[in-house]
Structure 1
Amino acid sequence: MNVRGLTLALQFLTRLPTPQVEDFRAEDLSRSADWFPLVGLLIGGCVAAGVWAGSHGTQWLGALVGLVIWVWITGALHIDGLGDVADALAAAHRTPERFLEVLRDPHIGAFGAIAIVLLLMAKLVLLAEISHSSTLVALVLVPAWARWGTLVWSSTVPPLASGTGERFSWRISQLSTIAQGIGLAVLSIWLAPVLLSALIVVPALSLYWRMRLGGITGDCLGASVEVTETLLLVGVVLAASKTL
């Protein structure tokens, strides 16, 4: 891993200002993926800080501030993928060809719009639930686990078509993926053991894409990130409720 890879990971996953990268090559995108969990920690830190600051007013204000930061800092990259996948799955009827056909349509349909609205509502409520909880620090790890998931999904599920999903899998280091998973697990044991459920959620999504479509695309990766984040937030909220 190098600074060039970190810069590209920040450019791809966030709207944060970064130095210009010259002589971009297709394989650089895959190499930058090793930095995704670290960028996820940065995103989680910004969101947690926003929730904490806003919650000095009310818990709902904290949740709203955190959600706005979350959407802004990521440029709604993965939310867009969720909407596209929701539309495509609704029309696919287990046919990968039809799935890809709908996925390429730039217009959002009813299922995509509903999925996005429900996701944002869910995150808003969940952020409000943890805004005054001692488990708020766990929020830092949630985006990191989800972006670690992109390494696992790209390595274990074949690409369904050429594109971003395919380019990710070219040079992803399995050793780095395992090492980062161990690092996140150690942090989770220390800060929020419930987040170890990511070790179940991430492989389960790999199995889902294999059984549902037999492959994965860049939009599927984005949708999986959103689903993983939401499920982990649910886990954090449930764990916090049991300690009250």
Structure 2
Amino acid sequence: MKKELHIFFTALMFYTRIPCPKNIDHHPDYLNKATRYFPLIGWIVGSISFLAFYIFSLFLSTEIAVILAIITSVLTTGAFHEDGFADVCDGFGGGWTKEKILMIMKDSAIGAYGAIGLVLLFLLKFKLLSESVLLFETGLPFSVSPILLLFVSAHALSRLAAISIIFTYEYSRDDASSKSKPIAKSNTWKEVLGAFFFGLLPLFVLSYFKYQLLLVLIPVFMTRYFLARYFQKWIDGYTGDCLGATQQVCEVIYYLSILLVWKSF
């Protein structure tokens, strides 16, 4: 139990800015095992984001509360995944060889592709999440519970889609300089089972209110599949930035799918 707590806090330290016990560090062995808790971190980030939304929605409009909730999630993770998305936009937008793409992604400066990508990403996320919240407020009883599950399941499922790439593809960089390198080691059934359990459970609970919502799994994992294949084609695998980009894109696809499923059934 003590070891599992250490692994969990390792995941919390690596993927968020939430303070952890002083004895927790980025030990490679624990960081590799921490992949099983990556979707569980989505529970925490999603809950914090929802809490911000709920508090601000008591005094402000839904749209403003959604913006502040998104800002809260970015602050909670330190823009960890958004940074990866921007790097992927710059790398794959400006590079035409594996070496060039990897070199651009490692550059800490943000380019035009990354800036444009982030603007469009946040616009989509804001609009889709706002409409999803409004649908849940007007279409379901006890609306606070499903909206909480909406936030949590979005963060958990998108993180599952991202982390599942390491189960089926190889790490792209040959050197061990990347801080994401340790998570690319071989994973056991515990990592796979843990990731899928924590990634899928919130959506299964949310489907109690409308079982057709389970259909969002199809577009989310189709997106994950095509992104992984795209990364494989150009850089022979994935990097930490690719995982961050996958999380962000799949989160947006999740909100879009929620709207499409809701309006179709």
- The TM-score normalised by the length of structure 2 is 0.82
Q: Give, in angstroms, the shift of residue 183 of structure 1.
A: 5.5
- Give 1:127's match in structure 2, choosing from 129, 135, 138: 129
Aligned position for 2:235: 213
**SS where residue 134 of structure 2 aligns?**
coil
Number of aligned positions between the proteins: 242
Match of residue 83, structure 1, among 83, 86, 89? 86
Q: Say if 1:72 and 1:22 are closer, same or farther in 2 by CA, change over 3 A.
A: closer
1:204 aligned to 226, 236, 240, which one? 226
- Report the CA distance shift for 1:201/1:177 in structure 2 as closer, same or farther (over 3 A): farther
Choose the corresponding residue for 1:155, options 154, 167, 171: 167
1:19 Cα shift? Answer: 0.9
Indicate the residue corresponding to 2:140 in structure 1: none
| Higher mean C-alpha deviation, range 69-78 or range 14-23 | 14-23
Report deviation, 1:179: 5.0
- Label 1:9 to 1:105 Cα distance change in 2 as closer, same or farther (>3 A): same
**Which piece of structure 1 moves more, 30-39 or 125-134?**
125-134
Task: Tell me by how many angstroms 1:89 deviates.
Answer: 0.7
1 CA distance for matches of 2:260 and 2:53? 18
1:48 is aligned to 50
* Preserved contact between residue 154 and residue 165 of structure 1 (Cα < 8 Å): no
Q: Could you tell me whether the CA contact under 8 Å between 2:38 and 2:195 is conserved in 1?
A: no
Of 245, 253, 257, which residue of structure 2 is paired with 1:223? 245
8 A Cα contact 2:66 2:130, kept in partner: yes
CA gap 1:23/1:126 in 2 versus in 1, 3 angstroms: closer
Paired residues of 1:165 and 1:216 also in contact (CA < 8 A): no
Q: Residue 171 of structure 2 aligns to a residue in which SS?
A: coil
Specify the alignment match of 2:179 in structure 1. Answer: 164
Structure 2: state its 5+ residue gaps: 137-145, 208-213
Aligned Cα root-mean-square deviation (Å)? 2.2
Provide closer, same or farther for how the CA distance between residues 124 and 181 of structure 1 changes in structure 2, counting only shifts above 3 A. Answer: same
Q: Equivalences for 1:129-148 in 2 at 5 Å?
A: 129-134=131-136, 136=147, 137-148=149-160
C-alpha distance in 1, partners of 2:26/2:199?
A: 30
2:95 corresponds to 1:92: yes
Could you say if the C-alpha distance between residues 6 and 65 of structure 1 is closer, same or farther in structure 2, counting changes exceeding 3 Å? same
User: Residue 80 of structure 1: CA displacement?
Assistant: 0.7
Mean alpha-carbon deviation: is it higher for 56-65 or for 111-120?
A: 56-65
AA partner of residue 70 (structure 2): L
**Shift in Å, 1:120:** 1.3
Q: Select between 79-88 and 187-196 the one with higher mean Cα deviation.
A: 187-196
Pairwise CA distance, 1:189: 3.4
Which 4+ stretches in 1 moved above 4 angstroms? none
Gaps of 5+ in 1: none
C-alpha change, 1:239 and 1:176, in structure 2 (3 Å) is same
